Structure 1
């Protein structure tokens, strides 16, 4: 099974869903858990069950964990690695747009044991649909840390790429059909993307039989990101830097932001031949799209990508949204894709 087995215009969410209010602080990133010990383990599994149920009943074809068992899409993976001190924190500029307190690399990084594999096995047991798992990409990992050991962003990225490949291979063995690497940093550090960013991404995906995707977005719907986007002008052309490189890469799927963005649709031609996971749901607003609005976005992109290669999705993760809004947005995504699917038949 792979994502292709889900039929024409298979829907997916890019990453996170809001967690239940009994499990975690809500409508924020890095929300603290409200449970601990065995209760937290049980609560995470209950939340994952709920996330799968909601995706299936709302018409999502490629099911993910909704990141219900992790606090943050980057740091939860990093906290399981040796060589990183979470007690020694520094304030760094993330994505060159906002400051955050992050852990520090103090020695050689390594992965002592699998991080998400047991959670992935549990997800696999809950659904017969294709499943997707997201991992942070090497460049985005180093941009969410303070490095006081390697002294080289590139060297640390290569170390992380090897670690990610180890994890990805075990996720594949656990039954994951699509492994997604999140690289929002690709929209910021263009020289690094060209010089070593895509190469380290390919190293992270090396040897996988599961389909692979890279997700490049303009960030969660938080103030720092929306304020940054307001400075980008009438056309957002950041993808112009990474898409030609990714078109020549071994990555199967390119995931991008579209709905309510200023990304020119014709930039998708730069990844012609690749599958496209198109963000047709805006996660930076509580307003729920209508199915027809989603369908309109999908019709426009079909001028630049074959229907067989299109995966309708959300722009980014929905963790900061009210839970009700996120669930309704999933329904709108599925309904909009169904409209276009019927038109194509």
Structure 2
């Protein structure tokens, strides 16, 4: 029974709610109903998370890896830093009361690449390196490329992890692919967890079907799922090794189960997990899918011979009625009721209601509490935000980063117990209080923004002239050569620049001196670009730490953190802004420096903006209104900036939108409604300029085929895309679709330290020109260059410009021969 103190706290918590909300909370508690059913003795409801951030709360692993690459740390020191971070992660989960603690979710670069390495899926071009490099250096060479000691090997392809901003290394498969048990990282990490004192480590593996589907065939004479018979024995060897080491829980991540699957793939899931279960009957299999509900795959998932099925309740609530009705009696369910993708505190009222229904349908002992997905996608800990920092005081209590989400998981499980502690009721009361404060906060709404949004509703947007008409005017105005050269935007963020920025932020450098320092860097960058013959220049974005965070700092309704780091790829981390209220532009954001840069050169210098879709996808967005409304608010703010840039004399304006493909729903049936408002938001911000102003957009690391029609509807004059790592494979799709705009396929992979030769770049251009007429093509790198060093960038970009000149010569020569 509840003690008088607990009952009093329960009553006090409910006083802050409306009557209906309080009643819902009370009804969600199982105490009396379950006692009447005779269920007096139960084990504690199990808690866990699918994974935890791994780059370090203060980017310790980033610094250690980059120190290793530069030779400042040896392998022993890097391994030591890794173990320290794993200890911190396990300790956090233990202290929060997680019964199951994830292991093998840590990675020095990418967890999918870890799987490829473990399974011996090492592409042939790396085999010569095996004789001369350590396993660690071979692993990094596959991720980053290798250009030393006479070797010159390109990196493996990289793309987005489903609909997130995390990038994974794409496995490469051949028809006769060799898989073998190459790396024991999984087992070694399990043993490290045991040694650290984790009572029940849960080994995390990408499941065999999803692993194959994440990869890419290097020839077109087979399908990657054909490799399952070769792959499965290696998975069994790994599981045997884990089992021998004492592992009793294995989490198989199978996120493809929430995508559109054909009957063959569904049947394969049953066959594969049937084999694994037959060989390992004593290992508890937890199968996890996330980012959406199972939908049409739900019956397949529930028929698999696994012990526990994890559901992403945040994004797949619609699955629950069928789960409660049809889940097998010998299957447990793990309910991901705590959002692993966003940073707002949990709606405990809703979560307790869901858990209460689950317990009523299945029984307490068959329900586990978890995050919706891995917590990789959120920052470490709200408590790491400095006092007096950039995060507004009112916002902090509304936020839950990874460490707070562990506490929320524990709190929800504790509130579902018969005997609810005073601490649990205090946690409940505090959550309910903050939810009410946020709901009624004056900081969320701006009447002027809402009026502007209402006025926009139903109005036509976009540019009046056709893309063909605009191209004629722009060419007359800009006078660009065939195959014009440009860069995507950012240039190296050097130690000198970071020091300049740090001194400005800590108050030891005045705003005037900081601005002067940035202008010197811009001046040097423009002079260098002119000297090598680049046609359309960039100012380098030296004033920006990040392409989204910068705009977050200049928009009302947006906040930003001091230490809210989230891994994007490898050692690259970002601090996503927090969109908490209605968005508007405070003042011009980029105009002053764009005007300054353009004044340095007779050549066009691009104005650089981040588009509304990308600002949304790369931010933590408010969850109290439709995404489409927030997108339109951001688009209206950016429209003002675009028009001010045009008035300032900027002739080429780039609105980056790599996030549009990333936001594409995983199920095809849901995509058109999303694309309709995402494209409209782009047209709102780009459509106010005159026909002679050239609008560029940029996208990277995505499957463009899924959105080709939307790209055409976006009506950009020039689209630059990442294509180097995929060896220009995507261009055939653009050609087949009759893409009407100009296209800049990236010929230089900027995410590798390799410096491509003129011959290599020229060969890339030849591939491009086999698909498109020269007048339709721009020459550029894959992406911005902020993560690279100047000693890599200068020769690579100079080689790119030289390759473009050679290609122009070849174009003219062919024209003369044909003329």
Normalization by structure 1: what TM-score? 0.85
Contact 1:124 1:174 in 2 (8 A): no
What is the SS of the residue equivalent to 2:755? coil
1:265 counterpart (717, 726, 731): 731
For residue 334 of structure 1, what is the aligned residue in structure 2?
801
For residue 196 of structure 1, what is the aligned residue in structure 2?
677
Residues 59-74 of structure 1 correspond to what in structure 2 (within 5 A)?
A: 59-74=533-548
Contact 1:2 1:130 in 2 (8 A): no
For residue 169 of structure 1, what is the aligned residue in structure 2?
643
Q: CA deviation at 1:249?
A: 3.4
Q: CA deviation at 1:177?
A: 1.5
CA distance in 1, matches of 2:738, 2:721: 11
Q: Does residue 126 in structure 1 map to residue 126 in structure 2?
A: no
CA distance in 1, matches of 2:480, 2:599: 18
Quick one: structure 1 residues 101 and 125, their matched pair in 2 at CA, closer, same or farther if it must change by over 3 Å? closer
Once the two structures are superposed, residues 180-237 of structure 1 have per-residue CA deviations (whole angstroms, 9 ceiling, x without a partner) of 111111232224652321121111101212111220112xxxxxxxxxxxxxxxxx7x
Which moved further from structure 2: 154-163 or 185-194?
185-194
Residues 13-28 of structure 1 correspond to what in structure 2 (within 5 A)?
A: 13-24=487-498
CA distance in 2, matches of 1:313, 1:169: 26
Quick one: structure 1 residues 150 and 59, their matched pair in 2 at CA, closer, same or farther if it must change by over 3 Å? farther
Contact 1:183 1:216 in 2 (8 A): yes
CA distance in 2, matches of 1:43, 1:79: 20
Q: CA deviation at 1:257?
A: 1.0
For residue 304 of structure 1, what is the aligned residue in structure 2?
771
What is the SS of the residue equivalent to 1:293? helix
Quick one: structure 1 residues 72 and 240, their matched pair in 2 at CA, closer, same or farther if it must change by over 3 Å? same
Q: CA deviation at 1:148?
A: 3.2
Contact 1:55 1:330 in 2 (8 A): no
Quick one: structure 1 residues 271 and 181, their matched pair in 2 at CA, closer, same or farther if it must change by over 3 Å? farther
Residues 187-226 of structure 1 correspond to what in structure 2 (within 5 A)?
A: 187-191=661-665, 194-209=675-690, 210-218=693-701
1:240 counterpart (690, 700, 705): 705
For residue 147 of structure 1, what is the aligned residue in structure 2?
621
CA distance in 2, matches of 1:286, 1:148: 37
What is the SS of the residue equivalent to 1:212? strand
Contact 1:243 1:271 in 2 (8 A): no
Quick one: structure 1 residues 324 and 242, their matched pair in 2 at CA, closer, same or farther if it must change by over 3 Å? same
For residue 254 of structure 1, what is the aligned residue in structure 2?
719
Residues 16-165 of structure 1 correspond to what in structure 2 (within 5 A)?
A: 16-24=490-498, 33-35=502-504, 36-37=509-510, 38-86=512-560, 101-148=575-622, 150-165=624-639
Q: CA deviation at 1:252?
A: 1.2
Q: Larger relative contact order (C-alpha < 8 A, sep ≥ 6)?
A: 1
CA distance in 2, matches of 1:89, 1:20: 20
What is the SS of the residue equivalent to 2:606? strand
CA distance in 2, matches of 1:295, 1:60: 16
- Aligned-residue Cα RMSD (Å) equals 2.5
Which moved further from structure 2: 182-191 or 42-51?
182-191
For residue 225 of structure 1, what is the aligned residue in structure 2?
none
CA distance in 2, matches of 1:317, 1:213: 14
For residue 229 of structure 1, what is the aligned residue in structure 2?
none
Q: Does residue 344 in structure 1 map to residue 818 in structure 2?
A: no
Contact 1:131 1:176 in 2 (8 A): yes
CA distance in 2, matches of 1:111, 1:184: 22
Residues matched between the structures, number: 321
1:275 counterpart (738, 742, 746): 742
Quick one: structure 1 residues 115 and 100, their matched pair in 2 at CA, closer, same or farther if it must change by over 3 Å? closer
Contact 2:617 2:662 in 1 (8 A): no
Structure showing the higher strand proportion among its residues: 1
Q: Does residue 180 in structure 1 map to residue 654 in structure 2?
A: yes
Quick one: structure 1 residues 63 and 72, their matched pair in 2 at CA, closer, same or farther if it must change by over 3 Å? same
Over alpha carbons, which structure has the higher Rg?
2
For residue 50 of structure 2, what is the aligned residue in structure 1?
none
CA distance in 1, matches of 2:579, 2:617: 12
CA distance in 2, matches of 1:256, 1:340: 19
CA distance in 2, matches of 1:34, 1:296: 45
Structure showing the higher helix proportion among its residues: 2
Once the two structures are superposed, residues 270-289 of structure 1 have per-residue CA deviations (whole angstroms, 9 ceiling, x without a partner) of 35221012211110111111
Normalization by structure 2: what TM-score? 0.37
Quick one: structure 1 residues 64 and 99, their matched pair in 2 at CA, closer, same or farther if it must change by over 3 Å? closer
**Structure 2 regions of 5+ residues with no counterpart?**
1-472, 666-670, 813-819
**Structure 1 regions of 5+ residues with no counterpart?**
26-30, 219-235
Quick one: structure 1 residues 204 and 61, their matched pair in 2 at CA, closer, same or farther if it must change by over 3 Å? same
CA distance in 2, matches of 1:133, 1:266: 30
CA distance in 2, matches of 1:109, 1:138: 11
Contact 1:17 1:67 in 2 (8 A): yes
Quick one: structure 1 residues 249 and 84, their matched pair in 2 at CA, closer, same or farther if it must change by over 3 Å? closer
CA distance in 1, matches of 2:518, 2:611: 24
CA distance in 1, matches of 2:564, 2:497: 28
Q: CA deviation at 1:101?
A: 4.2
Q: CA deviation at 1:136?
A: 0.7
What is the SS of the residue equivalent to 2:732? helix
Quick one: structure 1 residues 303 and 248, their matched pair in 2 at CA, closer, same or farther if it must change by over 3 Å? farther
Contact 2:493 2:787 in 1 (8 A): no
Contact 1:20 1:47 in 2 (8 A): no
CA distance in 1, matches of 2:515, 2:522: 11
Contact 2:548 2:576 in 1 (8 A): no
Q: Does residue 313 in structure 1 map to residue 780 in structure 2?
A: yes
